[in-house]
Amino acid sequence: MIETLRATYRSGLTRPLDWRRKQLNQLDLLLTEHEQELLDALASDLGKSAAEGWLTELGYLHSDIKHTLKHLKKWSAPRRVSQPLMAWPGKSCLYPEPLGVVLIIGAWNYPLQLLLSPLVAALAAGNCVVLKPSELSPKTADLLAKLIPEYLDQQAVWIQTGGAEVAQQLLSERFDHIMYTGGGRVGRIVMKAAAEYLTPVTLELGGKSPAVVLADADLKVAAKRIAWGKWLNAGQTCIAPDYILVADEVHDQFVEQLKATITEFYSSSPQDTEDYGRIVSAGHWQRLVEYLKDGTIAIGGDYDEQERFIAPTVLTDVDLESAVMTEEIFGPILPIVKITDLQQAIDFICDRDKPLALYGFSKDKAKLNQLTQATHAGNQCNNDTLMFMLNPELPFGGVGPSGMGRYHGQFGFDTFSHLKSVMSRPFWSDPNFRYPPYTSFKQKL
Ligand code: NAD
């Protein structure tokens, strides 16, 4: 299979922009013609509501494809740069060329978006692609395995379902780039395997993303935006706020606002609303239920093993050394920690791994700037959560343990391209001052 893709790549099939446009349009058509089946698969895998499935997966992909098609000509054109006097006359440019055959390994929490958005970028850049969806969202993976060969050029795109063994088998092959989305444990396995062939990698990982709520924040709006970012997809979002650092003087008020918001969003019985998802697997459900003992349950705390349900839950008085405060939660449990001031929040964040996302809530721009300047994070969003994902002009990616590399918009196109530097010079001017013999006159030049 990989040899076929390699031969396709060598044949030049994927180079013309018309071929790339056709693949992107076909992918768009797949999403349109099978919208209901895809939404049903997401509901089956994650209890995802149709509205959430549209907003965070299908709708997101449609706009990603539209944006890419709109800019493809410009992104793929040679990018002229200036020419130094010493090399004059001549021209220099960056020439985006595809990388070849690339491997994309997806995660289960947004099983369409996290597999297909990298695919959009890789196809736009003119590559052949092997897709490996996560086995933890099997309905979506199986549906994609059926549809992708029907819509996309089978000589250039291959989808392989299966679990860790299949991923490892794929990783033992040589690729020209690997993009992996998932946890850091497997991220290390991917990077080790890639080292064998010196294959470049993009690792979209996770971690504990903090939200800082200062005393001057609009607590009602902050609670709504944090609740939306946290309990979307039942908390199984890599950039969901993992924990809150809240100014102690507004702590109780903020918890009250969260309580009112949760009831407004999901009613007083979240298990019965269509808008609230389920935990992906029994193993993850078990892991999450264990966290409930690491603090005082201020809101929620109900669970149901059969349905893999855990209510939107807020923990206060958490033990900072406990699992809920040291491991990535990746579920609907939100611990809240009191801080005395911004500096304490900054120290708390800097004492831990660089997060994928950081959220600051305050009316004071100077304080938000201080938060930006004094901390590291893959992405920061002030007075909101998750919304930066909607801007294709902003690259998405982690830093340090939360990942390496970036994508979205042109950053995705560039990730799957090599920007070859090309300098071209005419024959007509050839002064000999740089050629030997290096006479004393030349050395003075
Ligand atoms: P997962 O279990 O779905 O694994 C991801 C992929 O790795 C799957 O395709 C799986 O088959 C493969 N895999 C599993 N074990 C493997 C092994 N031993 N060798 C090779 N491949 C293997 O994903 P997960 O880790 O449960 O996902 C959750 C994590 O992903 C969280 O940490 C979350 O923050 C992170 N995440 C990050 C992003 C992002 O865009 N940065 C998005 C979603 C999730």
Residue at 309 is within a domain: yes
Query: Which three-class secondary structure state does DSSP give residue 222?
Result: helix
Residue at 441 is within a domain: no
CA distance linking residue 326 with residue 68, whole number of Å: 38
Same domain as 386, residue 319: yes
Which residues, other chains included, contact 11 with Cβ-Cβ below 8 Å and sequence gap of 6+? Answer: none
Residue at 159 is within a domain: yes
Q: Give nearest CA residue, ligand 1 atom 16.
A: 164
Pocket test for ligand 1, best of 45, 60, 109 (most atoms within 8 A of CB): 109
Distance 171 CA to ligand 1 centre (A): 14
Is residue 80 pLDDT above 90, yes or no?
A: yes
Summarised one tens digit per residue, pLDDT across range 233-278 is 999 999 999 999 999 999 999 999 999 999 999 999 999 999 999 9
Residue at 434 is within a domain: no
- Whether 108 lines ligand 1, by a CB cut-off of 6 Å, is yes
- Whether 163 lines ligand 1, by a CB cut-off of 6 Å, is yes
- Report which of 136, 118, 116, 228 is spatially closest to residue 177, judged by C-alpha positions: 118
Is residue 444 pLDDT above 90, yes or no?
A: no
Peptide bond into 355 cis (omega under 30): no
67: confidence class by pLDDT, cuts 50, 70, 90: very high
- Whether 105 lines ligand 1, by a CB cut-off of 6 Å, is yes
Distance 196 CA to ligand 1 centre (A): 21
Summarised one tens digit per residue, pLDDT across range 317-357 is 999 999 999 999 999 999 999 999 999 999 999 999 999 99
Distance 426 CA to ligand 1 centre (A): 51
Q: Give nearest CA residue, ligand 1 atom 18.
A: 164
CA distance linking residue 238 with residue 119, whole number of Å: 19
Query: Which three-class secondary structure state does DSSP give residue 369?
Result: helix
Is 355 buried (19+), middle (13-18) or exposed (0-12) by CB count in 10 A? buried
Q: Give nearest CA residue, ligand 1 atom 13.
A: 164
24 secondary structure, DSSP code: H
> Region 386-413: what's the mean pLDDT?
97
What distance lies between CA 247 and its chain's CA centroid? 30
- Whether 168 lines ligand 1, by a CB cut-off of 6 Å, is yes
Q: What is the ipTM of this complex?
A: 0.94
Report the atom number in ligand 1 closest to the C-alpha of 162: 11
Q: Which residues pair with 132 in a beta bridge?
A: 105
Same domain as 124, residue 149: yes
- Whether 403 lines ligand 1, by a CB cut-off of 6 Å, is yes
pLDDT of residue 58: 98
pLDDT of residue 61: 98
Is residue 304 pLDDT above 80, yes or no?
A: yes
The residue written with tokens 């959220």 in the block is 359
CB 358 within 8 A of CB 371: yes
Summarised one tens digit per residue, pLDDT across range 137-171 is 999 999 999 999 999 999 999 999 999 999 999 99
pLDDT of residue 162: 97
> Region 371-379: what's the mean pLDDT?
98
Residue at 229 is within a domain: yes
Distance 186 CA to ligand 1 centre (A): 7
Q: Give nearest CA residue, ligand 1 atom 25.
A: 183
Same domain as 169, residue 225: no
Residue at 304 is within a domain: yes
Pocket test for ligand 1, best of 181, 192, 202, 415 (most atoms within 8 A of CB): 181
Q: Which residues are part of the catalytic machinery?
A: 204, 238
Model-level pTM greater than 0.80?
yes
Is residue 445 pLDDT above 80, yes or no?
A: no
End-to-end CA distance of the chain: 58
> Region 372-393: what's the mean pLDDT?
97
Phi and psi, residue 170, nearest 5°: -60, -40
Q: What letters, b where the CB count within 10 A reaches 16 and e where it falls short, cover 295-325?
A: beebbbbebeeeebbbbbbbbbebeeebebb
Same domain as 130, residue 3: yes
Summary mean pLDDT of the chain = 97
> Region 72-99: what's the mean pLDDT?
97
Same domain as 202, residue 215: no
Please spell the DSSP secondary structure of 196-221, one letter per residue: TTT--EEEE-----EEEE-TTS-HHH
pLDDT of residue 113: 98
Is residue 32 pLDDT above 80, yes or no?
A: yes
pLDDT of residue 442: 77
CB 295 within 8 A of CB 335: yes
Residue at 83 is within a domain: yes
H or E element: which one contains 423?
strand 417-424
Q: What percent of the chain has pLDDT over 70?
A: 100
Q: Give nearest CA residue, ligand 1 atom 39.
A: 204
Same domain as 268, residue 251: yes
pLDDT of residue 347: 98
Pocket test for ligand 1, best of 160, 186, 239 (most atoms within 8 A of CB): 186
Same domain as 415, residue 348: no
- Report which of 111, 107, 121 is spatially closest to residue 67, judged by C-alpha positions: 121
Bridge-based pairing of strands 303-304 and 309-310 is antiparallel
- Whether 132 lines ligand 1, by a CB cut-off of 6 Å, is yes
pLDDT of residue 436: 92
Bridge-based pairing of strands 417-424 and 91-98 is antiparallel
Q: Which residues pair with 297 in a beta bridge?
A: 315
pLDDT of residue 139: 98
Is residue 433 pLDDT above 90, yes or no?
A: no
Last residue of a domain, one of 390, 410, 439: 390
Q: Give nearest CA residue, ligand 1 atom 36.
A: 182
Total tally of structural domains belonging to the chain? 2
Same domain as 326, residue 254: yes
Structure token pair of residue 322: 């406990």
Using CA atoms, how far residue 289 sits from 282, 302, 310, 363, in Å, is 11, 9, 8, 36
- Report which of 411, 350, 355 is spatially closest to residue 378, judged by C-alpha positions: 355
Is residue 416 pLDDT above 90, yes or no?
A: yes
Which residues, other chains included, contact 118 with Cβ-Cβ below 8 Å and sequence gap of 6+? Answer: 104, 106, 179, 181, 407, 412, 416
Same domain as 292, residue 161: no
Report the atom number in ligand 1 closest to the C-alpha of 206: 34
Distance 296 CA to ligand 1 centre (A): 30
- Whether 179 lines ligand 1, by a CB cut-off of 6 Å, is no
Is 418 buried (19+), middle (13-18) or exposed (0-12) by CB count in 10 A? middle
Query: The domain that contains 415 carries what CATH number?
Result: 3.40.605.10
Residue numbers of the domain that contains 414: 1-206+402-422
Is residue 434 pLDDT above 90, yes or no?
A: no
Residue at 439 is within a domain: no
Same domain as 353, residue 234: yes
Is residue 184 pLDDT above 80, yes or no?
A: yes
Distance 107 CA to ligand 1 centre (A): 5
- Whether 178 lines ligand 1, by a CB cut-off of 6 Å, is no
Same domain as 195, residue 82: yes
Query: The domain that contains 218 carries what CATH number?
Result: 3.40.309.10
Same domain as 276, residue 134: no
